[in-house]
Each structure stands twice: as C-alpha cells, then as structure tokens.
C-alpha cells in the first residue's frame, strides 16, 4: 500500500512539473521592463541681429524694439514710423538642438497689419555649419549695405544634423507712402522629413 501511495504522489508531482514546463514554454506574453529614449527635433534661435540703414538718425526716427521669445522659437520686433523705402534685415543663427536631423524649410514672416502688399520680403540661407565650422563671414561685421550688395553664396533651405547651425538673413522693405506702426514676427520653420 505504501508503494501505491508513493507512486501516486510521484505521478502527481511529475505531471505538475511537466505541465509547468509546458506552460512556460508555450506562453505567448513576455514582459520586458526598461526605458526607451526617443529622438526629437528642436530648431531654436541661438542668436539674433537687426541691421538698419547706416544713415544718421534712423534709430531715432524709426525706433525698433525687438526680442526673441523665451522658447527661442520666434523673433518679434515692434517697428514704429515705417515709411517709404524703410528697409531692415533680420539675421538669425539657428541651431538644431534635437537628436534627429531636420531640414530648415523657411523663415516665416508675419506682420500684424491687414495690407502687406507694400512689403517686399526676401530670405537668404547660409549653412549648414557643423560644430567647429566658422560662419564669421556670414555674421560678424556685415552691414545692411553689404548684405544688399552680395546676395550670392546663399543656399536654398538646408538640412541640419544635430548641433548644426544655419544663418538666415531676411530683408524687409516697405515701399508704401503711408507711415505705420507694426509688429513683425520671424519664425523659422523646419520640415520634419529631411
């Protein structure tokens, strides 16, 4: 009798082990725990420059107050007494602070006035400038007159790898006869598919 009880116990134990192994071998779900870091795109304005005509008194007769937004996504300028042949150039150093490449598509200029037909807007692109590459000839010591005289060497919208920089120069000219006050916003836009 003792052997029968031991044989039944061993049979139950063996069937439990076999069914446990079979269950673990054919189980469909696997649980994995971990952290995944996803890539992202982030185009920011790293530096800005406003060029105005070098004539005497432009800043006094045509005051312009400007800043870059806190999120470094837009350049905003409050322009007063904008009259005939008023011309400025907005320079932006842009940087890809993301982990994925992107393509600088355009610098979008918006004016807070209903009629923009008296404005001419032209944008030039310089770059890309990988880390360690000098972009001084396109940024330092340049004046509005020099910029208007040599639009050569500028490229169409450009691809930017992570940490690359680009420079945009946007020239805005007003040929209307009525003086006005306005706010202009320059926002660099990237194309998410380089």
Identify the domain containing residue 162 by its residue range: 43-191
| Rounded distance between C-alpha atoms, residue 64 and residue 84, angstroms | 16
Q: Is residue 5 domain-resident?
A: no
Q: Is residue 3 domain-resident?
A: no
Tokens read off for 97? 């602070």
pTM above 0.85, yes or no: no
Listed in sequence order, the residues at least 6 apart from 61 whose beta carbon sits closer than 8 Å to its beta carbon are 81
Banded pLDDT at 45 (limits 50, 70, 90): very high
Q: Is residue 98 domain-resident?
A: yes
What are 85-135's pLDDT values in tens digits?
A: 888 999 999 999 999 999 998 899 999 998 889 999 988 888 899 999 888
Which whole-number Å values give the CA distances from 158 to 35, 56, 176, in the listed order?
33, 37, 33
Instruction: Tell me how many domains the chain contains.
Output: 1
Banded pLDDT at 149 (limits 50, 70, 90): low
| Rounded distance between C-alpha atoms, residue 74 and residue 108, angstroms | 9
Q: Is residue 172 domain-resident?
A: yes
Q: What single DSSP character describes residue 137?
A: G
Contact in structure between 88 and 52 (CB atoms under 8 Å): yes
Q: Is residue 26 domain-resident?
A: no
Q: Is residue 70 domain-resident?
A: yes
């Amino acid at each position: 009798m003792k052997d029968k009880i031991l044989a039944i116990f061993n049979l139950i134990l063996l069937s439990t082990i076999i069914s446990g192994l079979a269950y673990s071998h054919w189980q469909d779900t696997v649980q994995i725990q971990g952290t995944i870091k996803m890539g992202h795109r982030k185009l920011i304005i790293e530096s800005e420059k406003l060029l105005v005509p070098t004539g005497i008194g432009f800043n006094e007769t045509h005051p312009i107050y400007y800043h870059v937004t806190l999120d470094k996504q837009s350049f905003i300028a409050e322009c007063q007494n904008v009259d005939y042949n008023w011309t400025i150039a907005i320079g932006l150093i842009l940087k890809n602070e993301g982990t994925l490449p992107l393509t600088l598509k355009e610098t979008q200029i918006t004016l807070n006035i209903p009629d923009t037909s008296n404005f001419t807007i032209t944008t030039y692109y310089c770059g890309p400038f990988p880390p360690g590459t000098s972009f001084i000839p396109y940024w330092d010591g340049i004046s509005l007159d020099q910029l208007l005289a040599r639009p050569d060497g500028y490229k169409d919208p450009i691809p930017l790898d992570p940490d690359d920089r680009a420079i945009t120069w946007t020239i805005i000219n007003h040929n209307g006869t009525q003086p006005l006050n306005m706010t202009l916003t320059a926002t660099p836009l990237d194309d998410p598919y380089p």
